[in-house]
Structure 1
Amino acid sequence: MFNIRQERLFSLEEILETSPRESYALILGPLDINPLLEAVSKKAIFGAPTQLNYTAMIYSLIIRVIERIPTIKDLRKRLKNSLEFRFDCGFTLADSVPSEASYCRMIKKIDDSSVLANSQDDLVLQAFKEGFIDPECVVAIDATHIEARDRKPEKKQEETPVEKTPKKRGRKPKSEREAWLKEQEELEKNRPIFEKKIEDQLSCTFTELAQHIPLDPQWGIKKNSEGKNVFWYGFKGHLLVDCKGQYVLSSLLSSGNINDGKMAIPLLKALSEKHPYLNPSYILADAGYDYIPIYQQARCIGARALIDYNKRNEQLPEDNDKYFRPICQKGYSYRYDSHDPRYDTLKYTRPKECQECPLKDSDTCQKVFKIKTLSDPRKYTVPARGSDRYFELYKQRTAVERVNAYLKEYFQLNNIRHRGKSAQVDFQFSILAYTLCKLAVDRLNKSMRIAA
C-alpha cells in the first residue's frame, strides 16, 4: 500500500516557539522601519546629539509583544541580563540599554503620529500583492473587551435628597410643545456623532468619524456563554478580518460602553478608504450589528451583509417561518431558489411536500414567491436566510473570533499597559506584531509548497 503524506505547514504557534535567531529575521523582515524612525527621530540639530539606537528600540518593542514580556521594566531587565537577546533586538556592544524614560518618550512620539496604523496598512498591501488576501474576500466584524489599567471610578456618595417640584409627565400642552420640540431638535443636533443614531454616520467620512471615537475607559457590559451579564472597565477593540487569510484589514479602539453596531460603519469606511484594491463580497457579523444602516453601508462598498437577525421583541408574521420564508397552507416552508440581480429579488419555490399535496393544482396554493430584498434588508439577505449557502458562508465568521483569541493569548492584547487614550498604542502594537507573524508564516508555507 502507498503511504499518503499529509502536507506539513507552519502554524502561528510554531513560529512563536522557534528560536529567536531564526524567527526574528522572518518576522521583522517585511516591516519598513523608515516611517517609524522618522516619527521618533530628533527633528532639530540643536541640543545634545542622540546616542540611542532607535531602530533596535522599535524592534525591541515589537519583540516585547511577541515574547509576551509584560512591562518595559522587564524588557530592560532582559536586555541587561541576556547579551544574546540584546543582539537579536539589534543592539550592539557599543549601545547602552535605553532607560525607561527613553522608551516612554519614544512611545509618546509614536502615539502622537499615525505611523503604526500606516505600517499595518502597508503590511496588508504586501500580503495582498503576494496572494495571501483574495481581492473579493469574505470579511467578518466583531468586538472584544479590553480591561484598562486606569483606576475604576468609585461610586458617588449618596447626598441628602433635596425636595424638588416633580416634573409633570405626559404629553406637553400645545403652548409648550413647539418650544420643547425645538429644544429637543437642538440637543440632538449638538450631540457627538457616536451618541446619535447609526444612520447619521452614513454621510460622514472615515476621517470625520475617527476623530470623534471616544477613547476614555468606561464601564462595559456583555453576555457570556451562559447568558449572564459580565462587566468590565476599559475599552473595546473592533476588528474587521479577512475570513480566509485571517488578516486584520481594519481595526479601531473605543470606550467600553460604545455599542458594537456603532463601530461597524467606521470599520467598513476604513476598509474602502485604506484598501481600495479590495472588493469584499460578503460582510459577516453577529446579531449585535443587525441595523439597516450597516446593510446600506455594505451595499455602498459592493458587498452583501449576512448578519444574525436580532428579534428585539418583534413578532414574526404568521405566514412566514423563522427564516422569513413563505409558508404554504399545510404549514411547510417554501424553498429558496435563486436571486435575480436585475430586480434584486429572492425567488422561493414550492416545498418538496407539495408534490403529494391535494392542493397543488388549486388556485389557493401559490407556486412561486418573489420578494424584493430592499423591502426589508434585515429579513431578506442574499443568499436567503435558512439556505445552505447562507450557513456555508456564515460559519466563516469564526475567523474574527479566532483572531481575537490569538491577539489576547499570544500578542498582549489583554495586557494594556498605558492609561487613558494612550492605550491605543498598545492596541496597535499588538495588531502589528500579529500581522508580522501571520505574514511570516504565510511566506514560510508558500516556500515549503514551492519546494515540495
Structure 2
Amino acid sequence: MYSIRQEELFSFKELFLMRPEDKYSQIFEHLDLAKVLHVLRKKNNRGRPEELNVPAMIYSLLIAKMENIEFVSSLVWRLTHSEEFRAQCRFTGSDNIPSESSYSRLIHALEQTGMLEKLQDSLVLSAIEEGFVSGTHLAVDSSIVEAWDCRFSEAAAKRRAARRAPKPSEAPVAQQLQFELTEPEPEVVNEPPKKPVYTKRGRPSNAEKERRRPEQEAYEQSLGPFQKTIEAMLPYTYDELLAALPRHAARCDKKNTEGRLTSYYGFKANVLVDTDCQYIVSGVWSSANLNDQRMAVVLLKGLLLKFPTLKVKHILGDKGYDCAAIYQLIHSLGAYPAIPMIHRKDPPEGMNVDYTPVCSQGHAYRYDSFDAKYETLKYTQPSECKGCPLLSSGCQKVFKIRIQTDLRKHTYPARGSEGFTELYKKRTAVERVFAYLKEYFGMKRTRHRGVRASVDFQLSTLAYNLSKFALDKLNQQLRNSQQVA
C-alpha cells in the first residue's frame, strides 16, 4: 500500500495574510465623523460614562445598507455572532455590542441634529474639489418607496383605539363623580379658518368681492407652504420648506409603466443627480402624496444654498415637472431647463407643438444657434423650402425668439432639435441611480415610520455616494500610477 505525503502549498502565516481584503476600509477612509461625534458627545461629565463605540455604530449602519441587512435586530445578531463582521464595523474586542434601543436612540439623534445631511453635503463638496462632480447637467426625479409594515396602519389604529376605549360603566367611580359635579373647561384651540364656501350662483358684485376679500386672505394665510400653489412656494426659504415638509407615510396614486393607475402607500424619495458622474447631489425624503413639482422647488432651493460655486447649465426632468414656476426657479439659478412640454391646448398659428416657427407650407424652421448674451434662439429656413415659389416674398428667412418671452415654451436648446434630444437622453442617469439604490443599498422598501424611515433614506444615499467616491479615488490613483510608469 502506497503512502503518499502531500506537501503544504503555503504556511499558516501566508494563509492568514491571504484573507479577503476589507473592502470597507477603502470606503470609510473618506468619511470624516469628527463633527458628528462632537455634536453627539455628552455635554458634561456627569452621569453614567459612555460605553458605546458611536463611530463603529455609524459604520455598521452604513454597512447594513451595503449588505442589504433590513432590520436593526438582524444587524445586532450579525454583530453578536460574527467576529469578522465586528472587525469590519471597527468594533474592538473591549467594545460592548449595542442593543436595538441603543441604535434607536442613535437614529433619533442623527435625525434631530441633521448630521447625515451635513455628511452628505461635505462629501459632495469633496467630490467637486476633486473634479469628480462638474454639475453641468443635473437631473431631478422622484421614486416611490413602499412602507410595508404600516400599509393598513390607519384602519388598524382606529380598531385598536375602539377596542381599548373603556365603556362608560367601566370608568372609575371618582371619574364619574367628577364628571357629574364639575364640567370640563373648554379648551382654547386656535383652529385655522375654513375655506370660504359661497352658494350663491353667478358673478359676484364689486361690493360682494370686497366683502369676501378678507375671508379669502385669512384662509390663504392660514395655509402651509405645501398647501399653497407652487408659485406661492417660491418666496419661502429652504429651511422653512424643510420645517413644513410632511414626512409621514401616505397613500399615492400613480401610473405604472403600463399606464395603469396603481395605489401605493409609503414615502417618496426625491433626488438631484449629476448625469455625467451619477453622484447624488441632493436628496429629500417626503410623503408619497406630495407633488413632484413641489419637491423640485425644495431641491432647487437647497442647491443654491449648499453649493453656491456649482455652475449648473441644464436641469433635466420628465413631463411631471412641466410648470411655469419650475422654469422660473431654474432660470433664476442661471440654468436652462430641459423638460418635455405637456400640451394643454393647441399651439398658435405659425407654430408647431414644439413652439418652433412654421412656414406657410407647414415645414418647421431649423434650429440654428443660441445667443447667450441676449438669450435668443435663432431659426433658419427649412431645407424643404429651397425650391418654394414663396421663398422670396411669402416666407421669412430667419426667426429670432427670446427665451424671456415665455420660459415654458422656449428653452435652450430648442425642443424638437437634435441637441435637445441628445441632452434629454442623459436624464436616464437618475433612473439608474434609483435602480442602484433599490437593488444594492436597501432602498427598495422600508418597514420603519417617520424619523427612522427618513434616516434609512439618508443612510442609503450616503452609502452610495461613499462607494462612488472611493471608486473614483481608486481609479484616479490607478491612472496616476500608469502615467508615472
Contact 1:194 1:262 in 2 (8 A): yes
- For 1:423-450, what per-residue CA distance to the aligned partner results, in whole angstroms no more than 9, with x for missing partners? 2111111111111111011112222222
- Aligned match of 2:226 in 191, 194, 212? 194
CA drift at 1:20 = 7.0
Partner residue in 2 for 1:307: 339
* In the alignment, structure 1 residue 29 sits paired with structure 2 residue 29: yes
Partner residue in 2 for 1:5: none
Partner residue in 2 for 1:10: none
CA drift at 1:108 = 1.3
Contact 2:249 2:450 in 1 (8 A): yes
Matches within 5 A, 1:51-200: 51-134=51-134, 136-148=135-147, 149-152=149-152, 153-154=154-155, 168=199, 170-171=201-202, 173-174=204-205, 176-200=208-232
Could you say what the CA RMSD is over the residues aligned between the two structures, in angstroms? 2.0
Contact 1:292 1:378 in 2 (8 A): yes
CA drift at 1:176 = 4.3
- Aligned match of 1:382 in 412, 430, 442? 412
- Code of the residue aligned with 2:155 in structure 1: it is E
SS at match of 2:316: strand
CA drift at 1:192 = 0.5
Partner residue in 2 for 1:351: 382
Contact 1:216 1:255 in 2 (8 A): yes
Contact 1:290 1:308 in 2 (8 A): yes
- Aligned match of 1:237 in 269, 278, 283? 269
SS at match of 1:235: strand
Contact 1:65 1:412 in 2 (8 A): yes
* In the alignment, structure 1 residue 338 sits paired with structure 2 residue 386: no
- Code of the residue aligned with 1:86 in structure 2: it is R
**TM value normalised by structure 2:** 0.83
Deviates more, 1:145-154 or 1:365-374: 145-154
SS at match of 1:146: strand
SS at match of 1:220: strand
CA drift at 1:93 = 1.7
* In the alignment, structure 1 residue 275 sits paired with structure 2 residue 340: no
Rounded to whole Å, the distance in 2 between the matches of 1:270 and 1:430 is: 20
Contact 1:20 1:88 in 2 (8 A): no
- Code of the residue aligned with 2:417 in structure 1: it is S
Contact 2:111 2:451 in 1 (8 A): no
- Aligned match of 1:416 in 446, 449, 466? 446
Partner residue in 2 for 1:391: 421
- Code of the residue aligned with 2:257 in structure 1: it is S
CA drift at 1:168 = 3.3
Rounded to whole Å, the distance in 2 between the matches of 1:238 and 1:205 is: 18
Rounded to whole Å, the distance in 2 between the matches of 1:81 and 1:300 is: 55
- For 1:255-310, what per-residue CA distance to the aligned partner results, in whole angstroms no more than 9, with x for missing partners? 11110001112211211111112111111111111111211111211111111111
- Aligned match of 1:436 in 447, 466, 470? 466
* In the alignment, structure 1 residue 366 sits paired with structure 2 residue 396: yes
- For 1:32-55, what per-residue CA distance to the aligned partner results, in whole angstroms no more than 9, with x for missing partners? 011222333332311221211112
Contact 2:22 2:88 in 1 (8 A): no
Rounded to whole Å, the distance in 1 between the matches of 2:274 and 2:259 is: 28
Contact 1:337 1:348 in 2 (8 A): yes
Rounded to whole Å, the distance in 1 between the matches of 2:48 and 2:72 is: 25
* In the alignment, structure 1 residue 256 sits paired with structure 2 residue 255: no
CA drift at 1:167 = 7.5
Partner residue in 1 for 2:240: 208
- For 1:362-408, what per-residue CA distance to the aligned partner results, in whole angstroms no more than 9, with x for missing partners? x2111111212122211110111111111111111111111111111
Rounded to whole Å, the distance in 2 between the matches of 1:321 and 1:167 is: 42
Rounded to whole Å, the distance in 2 between the matches of 1:96 and 1:422 is: 23
Structure of larger gyration radius: 2
CA drift at 1:172 = 5.8
Contact 1:417 1:426 in 2 (8 A): no
Deviates more, 1:393-402 or 1:413-422: 413-422
- Code of the residue aligned with 1:259 in structure 2: it is N
SS at match of 2:60: helix
Contact 1:261 1:288 in 2 (8 A): yes
CA drift at 1:422 = 3.5
Rounded to whole Å, the distance in 2 between the matches of 1:36 and 1:150 is: 31
- For 1:305-325, what per-residue CA distance to the aligned partner results, in whole angstroms no more than 9, with x for missing partners? 1111112x3222242222111
Deviates more, 1:179-188 or 1:264-273: 179-188
SS at match of 1:154: helix
Deviates more, 1:124-133 or 1:196-205: 196-205
Rounded to whole Å, the distance in 1 between the matches of 2:218 and 2:288 is: 27
- Code of the residue aligned with 2:86 in structure 1: it is R
Query: Percent of aligned pairs with the same residue?
Result: 45
* In the alignment, structure 1 residue 450 sits paired with structure 2 residue 470: no
Where structure 2 has 5 or more consecutive residues not aligned to the other structure, the ranges are 1-18, 160-196
Alignment: residue pair count: 423
